[in-house]
């Protein structure tokens, strides 16, 4: 493991994002989308909305994946270089994010861009953010304005379903406040506790509430401490290091952590295996670059 190796691994994650995004656009172009009514609500204007999800099955999970990638891609461009592969990846990921119509993921991206701008005062961030907001408004006004209309909240099945999930998760947490219901149990427990929930609900649709329900206060405090420790080390690296790759990883880590927490208010998609495994790659590399993780070579 050295700087060249880290860059190679991060490039591999970037190429994976290009492939996954391209497949998402291919799905939309060929009509190979399984449109789940629950993803868009039950109003007639939303029933035919083609929310892309690529290989991650669910549009909100795909959107969270895209935001995490965008955070690291943007920070690479700002601190390392503007290679064509990064530009292509940024364009594809950004377009796919708009086409997921994920409100929470989009807001999390804007929050991440604002925080990144605080540390890296580059006007490219303002231009990119403005373009994304413009595209979000255009696509939502043209296809599904109801998804961002707060006045329509009571008619949006997606929002009402979340409220019931939150209520049920709180009930589960109240029964086991110290240790929780058990890791990996909510997918079964939520629909068992509430008669209003149908099918398989994989998470609490709120990140902190999910950890509280599954692992109790002890697990919740542990998760928060790990996230804060990661961000603290990233802040320190930005302040004290002049190494471009260290600053890139630190900025990407802070931006993606902010995005995860903002999106975590209405979703907990990072606990879904398809996304959590990818996140481990990013943060595993981040821990190594930031000096949190020390690798020892075993000579046998």
Distance CA 29, CA 96 (A): 12
Phi, psi of 33 (to 5 degrees): -115, 130
Distance CA 214, CA 204 (A): 10
Answer yes or no: are the C-beta atoms of 9 and 110 closer than 8 Å: no
pLDDT at 211 over 90: yes
The half-sphere exposure of 146 on its side-chain side, counting CA atoms within 13 A, is 19
pLDDT at 42 over 70: no
The tokens of 24 are what?
A: 């998402």
User: Quick one: angle between helices 244-263 and 103-119, nearest 10?
Assistant: 140
| CA dihedral over 220, 221, 223, 228, signed as positive or negative | positive
Flag whether 298 is in a domain.
no
pTM for the complete prediction?
Answer: 0.88
Structural domain of 274:
3-289
Higher pLDDT, 199 or 252: 252
Flag whether 272 is in a domain.
yes
Q: How many domains does the chain have?
A: 1
Higher pLDDT, 191 or 40: 191
Distance CA 156, CA 151 (A): 10
Which DSSP category does 264 fall into? Answer: T
Q: Which of 164, 156, 173 is nearest to 191 (CA)?
A: 164
Flag whether 150 is in a domain.
yes
44 confidence band (pLDDT: 50, 70, 90) = very low
pLDDT at 73 over 70: yes
Flag whether 297 is in a domain.
no
pLDDT at 38 over 90: no
Flag whether 299 is in a domain.
no
Flag whether 47 is in a domain.
yes
Mean pLDDT of the chain: 87
pLDDT at residue 151 in the model: 53
Flag whether 296 is in a domain.
no
Flag whether 28 is in a domain.
yes
């Amino acid at each position: 493991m050295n700087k060249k190796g880290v860059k190679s691994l991060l490039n591999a994650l970037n190429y994976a994002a290009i492939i996954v995004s391209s497949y998402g656009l291919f799905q939309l172009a060929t009509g190979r989308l399984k449109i789940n009514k629950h993803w868009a609500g039950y109003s007639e204007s939303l029933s035919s909305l083609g929310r892309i999800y690529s290989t991650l099955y669910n549009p909100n999970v795909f959107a969270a994946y895209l935001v995490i990638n965008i955070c690291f891609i943007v920070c690479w461009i700002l601190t390392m270089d503007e290679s064509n592969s990064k530009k292509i990846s940024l364009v594809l990921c950004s377009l796919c994010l708009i086409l997921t119509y994920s409100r929470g993921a989009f807001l999390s991206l804007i929050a991440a861009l604002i925080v990144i701008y605080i540390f890296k005062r580059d006007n490219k961030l303002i231009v990119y953010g403005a373009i994304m907001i413009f595209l979000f408004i255009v696509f939502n006004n043209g296809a599904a304005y109801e998804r961002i209309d707060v006045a329509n909240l009571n008619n949006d099945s997606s929002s009402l379903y979340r409220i019931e999930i939150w209520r049920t998760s709180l009930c589960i947490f109240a029964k086991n406040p110290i240790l929780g219901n058990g890791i990996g149990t909510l997918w079964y427990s939520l629909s068992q506790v509430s008669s209003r929930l149908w099918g398989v609900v994989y998470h609490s649709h709120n990140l902190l509430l999910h950890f509280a329900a599954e692992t109790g206060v002890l697990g919740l405090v542990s998760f928060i401490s790990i996230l804060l420790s990661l961000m603290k080390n990233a802040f320190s690296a930005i302040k004290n290091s002049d190494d471009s790759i260290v600053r890139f990883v630190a900025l990407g880590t802070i931006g993606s952590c902010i995005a995860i927490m903002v999106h975590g208010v209405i979703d907990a998609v990072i606990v879904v295996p398809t996304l959590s495994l990818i996140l481990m790659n990013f943060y595993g590399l981040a821990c190594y670059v930031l000096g949190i993780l020390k690798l020892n070579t075993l000579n046998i």
